[in-house]
Structure 1
Amino acid sequence: MPRKTKLVVTLGPATESPETIGQLIELGANVFRLNMSHAKHEWAAEMAKLVRRESAARHTHVAVLFDLTGPSIRTGDLKEPYELKIGDLVEFRKADTEPSIPLSTTVNYPGMMDDVSEGKTLVVDNGTLLMEIRTKKDDRIICEVRNAGKLGSRRHINLPGTRLNLPAMTDKDRKDLSLAVECDADYIAGSFVRDAAHVQELRSAVEALEGNAQIISKIEDQEAVRHIDAIIQASDAIMIARGDLGIEVAFEELPILQRRIIKRCHELGRRVIVATQLLESMIQNPTPTRAEVTDCSNAVYEEADALMLSGETSIGKHPLRCVEALVKISSRIERSGGLGYGTGVLLRDERQKTARAAVTLSDSLPDARLVVLTRRGVLANHTAMLRPKTAGFYAFTPRETVCRQLALTRNIEAFKMPFAAGIDETIERAAKFLIDRGLVQPGGPMVIVSDLLSDHIAANSILLHHA
């Protein structure tokens, strides 16, 4: 059976060559992520071109995701890293202010001093350093170090349980967004999304630039969890960014949150990506730990649409082996079955109910293929959310952009094909296409679901067709 779980691969110094990008596509990469926290514009534009070129050479549809930096809080530049001991006092101050103690650095968010409270925890560098806020002033805070470690330049700061009044987008994000639209990005991910208004602000910015990218909201803090339903409904897809989220919440709560968010995405009909530290040890090692294998297996068992690799493929020593490992894990777990959240999808309109009927029919017929005819990809995504069990699930659309945007959707393989004036001829074209590629046998059953115009009437329809 073909693999159902899609793979998002982050490009970086370890994977920036055309040869490596081509190999990653051949191994099973479906979406390439460009992390704008680290990428320069010239590099990102070149990577987008290479992805398009290498995927076209292999006659496949691979998507490009621009991941915006978002309004993250970072420390300033230091001449040398600070070696910190338990009990040391560290100062975080506004720019253009003078240090008041020896261990001092600036922060890029001047509003932090207004948002925090004494006694709260401050986390640096994804949990490497834990501190307690001891003193709060108008222009600085002073923290006590709770564990020994090293503080370097431009380190990321988390403030668990603190509501931050950061903007949805920074000036850098807007410049990066313009580049993404110029590069015809398929997806744009918003970092540190905290409510539905942030999602809409990003979507409006894309539309103002006349971009076609779909919006992925990254869930990274407690504020986002509190507004999760509204964020899901406002987004095209959700990314469970477990790095920052795992710092913002108690670590024992993270697996529960992951499962709860995946379930809610199923119910509300949105795609979901599980990200961060899937195969972290493989940045250095050629094989995953058994704990990592189990972690990835759980995400596949929960029937997430996609799994995402970050440092493993951007800077790691074994990027190709990482993709191979995820392909092996996901393919094996899919054969054992899934959690079945697709049965809980909330069916709100006729189109979704038609999709449910088509999935039920195709699952009941031995060797049936499920085919969706779609212009914008909406019906294809609705159908995929119901998690059909068929070994062959295909979408036909006349638009290249839609093919690429379906690269993130679980289980489905999209093909570009011009539609005929009548739906009957379109179905015949689709059947011949699948037969010619050996994806369906002549005479084999095909369940066709469509919302195309038929005799100038928009009709949600299901047809059992024999190829």
Structure 2
Amino acid sequence: MPRKTKLICTLGPATEAEEIIGQLIDLGTNVFRLNMSHAKHEWAREMAARVRRQSDKRGIHVPVLFDLTGPSIRTGDLPEPLELKEGDLVEFRVEGTEPSIPYSTTVNYGGLMADVSEGKTLVVDNGTMLMLIRSKQDDRIVCEVKTPGKLGSRRHINLPGTRLNLPALTDKDRVDLALAVECDADYIAGSFVRDAAHVRELREAMEALEGNAQIVAKVEDQEAVRNIDAIIHAADVIMVARGDLGIEVEFEELPILQRRIVRRCHELGTRVIVATQLLESMIVNPTPTRAEVTDVMNAAYEEADSLMLSGETSVGRYPDRCVEAIVRIANRIERSGGLGFGAQVLLRDERQKSARAAVTLADSLPDALLVVLTRRGVLANQTAMLRPRTSGFFAFTPKEKVCRQLGLTRGVQAFKLAFAATIEETIQRATEHLRSLDLVRPGTPLVIVSDILSDHFAANSILLHHA
């Protein structure tokens, strides 16, 4: 059976060569991510072009995801790192102000002082250092170091449990968003999304630039978790971004939150990505730890649409082995079945109910394949949320962009096909295409579900056809 769990790989210095991009596609990469926190515009523009060239060379549709930096809080530049011991006092001040104690750095968010409270915890550099806020003034806060460490330049700051009045989009995000639209991005991810209004603001900003990417909402803090239903409804895809989320919540809560969010995405019919540190040790090691294998297995067992690699493929020593590892783990657990959250999808309209009937029929017929005819990809995504068990699930659409936007949808293999004037001819074309790729044999039952209108085939209809 073909692998159903999709794989997103982040491009970086380790994988920027066009030949390597092609190799990663051949090994099983379905989507490429460009992290705009680190990417220069010329580099990102060229990476998007290389992905398109390698995809066209193979006759497949591999999408590109632009991941915006978002309103993160970072420390300023330091001439050299600060070596901090437990009990030391560190000052975080507004840019343009002078230090008042020896250990001092600036922060890029001037509203920090108004948002925080004395006695709260401040987490620096993705959890490597913990500090306690001792005092605050209008232009600075002073913290006591609770765990020793080295504080370098532009380190990330988290404030678990504190509501921050950060904007949904920074000036940098808006510039990067314009580049994403210019490059015809297939997905644009908003970082540190905290409510549905942030998703809408990102979508409206993209549409004002005449972009038509799908929006990925990254869930990274407690406020987003509290607003998860509204965010799921507003976004096209949810990303469980476990790096910052794992700092914002108690670590033993993180696996429970991941499963809860994945299940809720199933119920509400929105695709979901599990990301961050899936194979972190493989940045330097050629094989995963057994804990990492179990972590990847759990995400695939939860039947998330996609799994995402970050540093493992952007700067790691073994990007090819990372892809091979994910593919092997996903293939193995899929043979054992999944949690079955697809049975809990809330069916709200005729299209979703037609999709359920088609999946039930395809799963009940020996060797049956599932075919979706769709113009915008909506029906294919809704069908995929039901997690069909059939070994073949194909979507046909006349639009190449729709093919790419189905790239991270679990289980779907999308093909571009010009729809004919009659449904009979369209089905014949689709069947011939599958035969040409040796994906069907004569006589194979095809369960065809469609929401397109024709003279002889109503919208939201199902047809049983034999190849």
Q: TM-score range by the shorter chain?
A: over 0.9
Give the Å deviation of 1:290: 0.1
SS in 2 for 1:408: coil
Structure 1 CA distance for aligned equivalents of residues 458 and 190 of structure 2 = 34
Percentage identity across paired residues of the two chains: 79
Q: Is structure 2 residue 344 aligned with structure 1 residue 344? A: yes
CA distance in 1, matches of 2:61, 2:335: 25
Residue 182 of structure 1: aligned partner: 182
**Aligned-partner SS, 1:407:** coil
After the TM superposition, which residues 49-448 of structure 1 pair with which residues of structure 2 at under 5 Å, given as runs? 49-448=49-448
Q: Which AA in structure 1 matches 2:99?
A: P
Aligned residue identity for 2:27: L
Matched to 2:238, the amino acid is I
Instruction: Letter of the 2:392 partner, please give it.
Output: G
What does residue 35 of structure 2 align with?
35
By how many angstroms is 1:458 displaced? 5.1
Q: SS at the partner of 1:154?
A: coil
- After TM superposition, give the deviation of residue 136 of structure 1 in Å: 1.0
- Residues 305 and 408 in structure 2, CA contact (< 8 A), matched pair in contact too: yes
1:399-458 CA-to-partner distances (Å, cap 9, x unmatched) read 000000000100000000100011111011111111121111111100000011122885
Q: Which amino acid letter does the alignment assign opposite residue 289 of structure 2?
A: T
C-alpha separation in 2, matches of 1:164 and 1:447? 50
Map of 1:7 onto structure 2:
7
Aligned partner of residue 274 in structure 2, secondary structure: strand
**8 Å contact from structure 2 (residues 189, 218) kept in 1:** yes
- Look up the equivalent residue of 1:185 and give its one-letter code: A
Indicate the SS of the match to 2:201: helix
Instruction: Note if contact 2:423-2:456 (Cα within 8 Å) is conserved in structure 1.
Output: no
SS at match of 2:330: helix
SS of 2:462's equivalent? Answer: strand
Q: Secondary structure at the match of 1:419?
A: coil
CA distance, structure 2, for counterparts of residue 126 and residue 70 of structure 1: 16
2:422–2:456 CA contact under 8 A, matched in 1 = no
- The amino acid that maps onto 1:163 is R
CA distance, structure 2, for counterparts of residue 438 and residue 53 of structure 1:
25
Mapped contact 2:51–2:62 kept (Cα < 8 A): yes
Aligned residues: 467
Whole-angstrom CA distance in 1 between matches of 2:456 and 2:156: 56
Deviation sequence 1:51-109 (CA, Å, 0-9, x none): 00001101111000000000000000000000000000000000111101000000000
| 2:406 aligned counterpart, secondary structure | helix
Match of 1:47 in 2: 47
Describe the superposition over 1:172-230 as per-residue Cα deviations: whole angstroms up to 9, x where unpaired: 00000000000000000000000000000000011101111000000000010000000
- Secondary structure of 1:347 counterpart: coil
- Structure 2 Cα separation of the partners of residues 252 and 437 of structure 1: 47
Q: Which runs of no fewer than 5 residues in structure 2 stay unpaired?
A: none
Residue identity matched to 1:45: R
Q: Provide the C-alpha distance between the structure 2 equivalents of 1:459 and 1:30, rounded to a whole number of angstroms.
A: 30
- TM score, norm. by length of structure 2: 0.99
C-alpha distance after superposition, 1:294-337 (max 9, x if no partner): 00000000000000000000000000000000000000000000
Q: Spell out, residue by residue over 1:205-259, the C-alpha distance to the aligned partner (whole angstroms, 9 max, x if none).
A: 1110111100000000001000000000000000000000000000000000000
Cα distance between partner residues in 2 of 1:207 and 1:110: 30
Rounded to whole Å, the distance in 2 between the matches of 1:270 and 1:206 is 20
Q: Give distance in 1, aligned partners of 2:458 and 2:98.
A: 67
Q: Which residue of 2 aligns with 1:16?
A: 16
Q: Which secondary structure state, in structure 2, belongs to the residue aligned with residue 454 of structure 1?
A: coil
The 3-state SS of whatever aligns with 2:446 is strand
Which residue identity lines up with residue 135 of structure 1 in the other structure? S
| Offset of residue 459 of structure 1 | 1.6
Matched to 2:344, the amino acid is: G
Give the letter for the 1:262 counterpart: V
Describe the SS at the equivalent of 1:167: coil
Matches of 1:405 and 1:134 in 2, distance apart?
48
| One-letter identity of the residue aligned with 1:15 | T
TM superposition score normalised by structure 1: 0.99
SS at match of 2:407: helix
| Alpha-carbon distance in structure 1 between the residues aligned to 2:237 and 2:23 | 27
Secondary structure of 2:205's aligned partner? helix
Find the aligned partners of 1:123 and 1:142 in 2 and give their Cα distance. 13
Give the Cα separation in 2 of the matches to 1:437 and 1:15: 29
Amino acid at match of 1:319: P
Letter in 2 for 1:245: L
User: Could you tell me how far apart the structure 2 residues matched to 1:459 and 1:71 are?
Assistant: 43
User: Counterpart of 2:373 in structure 1: which amino acid?
Assistant: L
Counterpart residue identity of residue 422, structure 1:
T
Q: 1: CA distance between counterparts of 2:99 and 2:265?
A: 47
Give, as a single letter, the amino acid of the residue that structure 2 aligns with 1:318: Y
Asked if the contact 2:14–2:313 (Cα under 8 Å) also holds between the matched residues in 1, the reply is: yes
1:395, 1:291 → 2: CA distance?
35
In 1, Cα distance between the equivalents of 2:169 and 2:352? 34
Cα distance in 2, alignment partners of residues 464 and 213 from structure 1:
33
